[in-house]
Structure 1
Amino acid sequence: MKRDIRLSVTYPHPPARVWRALTTSQAIAAWLMPNDFVPEVGRAFTMRTEPALGFDGVVHCEVLTLEPERSMSWSWRGGPIDTVVTFRLEPEGQGTRLYFEQTGFEGLPALLVSVILGQGSKRIYRQRLPEVLDRMARGEGFGAVAPEGCEGSVVEKGLGKAVGALSGPGR
């Protein structure tokens, strides 16, 4: 069994701004998770969320491809998942269309995590990233837009709990 997450969203912001939000560590922390991302092909980085049983709260990634203001892909490994995340930007009118996909969910635990991440992705790309983009447009910087107590983790700290519960002990 395999499953992928795909969505597209159009933002009323130029590709350069959307690209900056996708490739700046502080911006990524504001709409996704705290991280040590550097936009260089081959560069390993981590993102951190709440740990849970069977999941240490660290997502291990590596930049696989990078075409400035057009596309980027990362590996994404943590708990039971080993996937690839791809971002593709296309100018659309006065704005930018973002195509997001996370591919490679295989096996029952990974499929269950994909359902949770799929729901979280909608919130991330339809609410949290647009809030960061709007703050950037107003010259306010990246700003933390996570709800109080969330501290930038995916799906209000749900990733750690979900992955841990699905991974089980010893994974």
Structure 2
Amino acid sequence: MTDSDVRCVTVEREISHPPEKIWRALTTRHLIEEWLMKNDFGLDLGHRFQLRGDWGHVDCEILDVDPGRSLSYTWNHAHDDPAYRLDSKVIFTLEPTAAGTLLRMEQVGFRPDQKQAFGGAKGGWKIHLENLEKVVATLD
């Protein structure tokens, strides 16, 4: 498989709050649980953590941290069936705007044969980021 075969889900959302608030929601365990999933998140480079749902879990590892600006981690879902195994990377970038912050989420690493996972991520991330915005709105 070449890089041109890899598919990416990208969701951008303008949020009317400063990057600092969004960063808190992206990097604080109890807040992550409110908008995404249960977790044992840690912000240290190389920290391994899991995101857990009723359907199972995703194994993650912190790859890059630029406080208040960007965060990336692996997003790997092991499965007995190779068609459902997912080895990907999630990247969040925050850019200050006049109205607040432009949040961009990219999930890179979908193979062409992973249409169901790709479609699920496209819809799922939109909902998760809507939930993140609701969480951010409750922060002081």
Same topology, TM > 0.5: yes
* Backbone CA RMSD of aligned residues: 1.2
Q: Is the 8 A contact 1:90 1:96 kept in 2?
A: yes
**Matched position secondary structure for 2:9:** strand
Partner letter of residue 57 of structure 2? Answer: V
Q: Tell me the alpha carbon deviations over residues 69-97 of structure 1, each in whole angstroms, 9 at most, x when there is no partner.
A: 00010001013111000000000014011
Contact 1:12–1:95 (CA under 8 A) maintained in structure 2: yes
Give the number of aligned pairs: 130
The corresponding residue for 2:82 is: none
Q: Report the equivalent of 1:75.
A: 74
Q: Read off the aligned partner of 1:13 and give its amino acid letter.
A: H
Q: Indicate the SS of the match to 1:40.
A: coil
Partners of 2:99 and 2:127 in 1: how far apart? 23
Q: Which runs of 4+ in 1 moved over 2 A?
A: none
TM-score normalised over the length of structure 1: 0.73
**Does residue 3 in structure 1 map to residue 2 in structure 2?**
no
1:59 is matched with which residue?
58
Larger strand fraction of residues? 2
Partners of 2:36 and 2:135 in 1: how far apart?
10
2:131 to 128, 133, 138: 128
- Is the 1:49–1:58 Cα contact (8 Å) retained in structure 2? yes
User: Sequence identity of aligned pairs in percent?
Assistant: 36
Match of 1:119 in 2: 123
- Local SS of the residue matching 1:28: helix
1:103 matched to which residue of 2? Answer: 108
1:21-43 superposed Cα distances (whole Å, 9 cap, x missing partner) = 00001111000000000111100
Aligned residue among 88, 93, 110 for 1:88: 93
**Once the 2 structures are TM-superposed, how far is the Cα of residue 58 of structure 1 from its aligned partner?**
1.3
What is the alpha-carbon distance in structure 1 between the residues aligned to residue 17 and residue 89 of structure 2?
26
Per the TM alignment, residue 124 of structure 1 is displaced from its structure 2 partner at its CA by: 1.3
Match of 1:29 among 22, 33, 41: 33
1:15 and 2:19 correspond: yes
Q: Could you tell me how far 1:2 is from its partner in structure 2?
A: 3.0
Return the offset for 1:107: 4.6
CA contact (8 A) 2:7 2:112 kept: no
TM-score normalised by length of structure 2: 0.88
Q: Is the 8 A contact 1:9 1:98 kept in 2?
A: yes
In 2, the alpha carbon distance for the partners of 1:42 and 1:113 equals 25
- The aligned amino acid for 2:68 is E
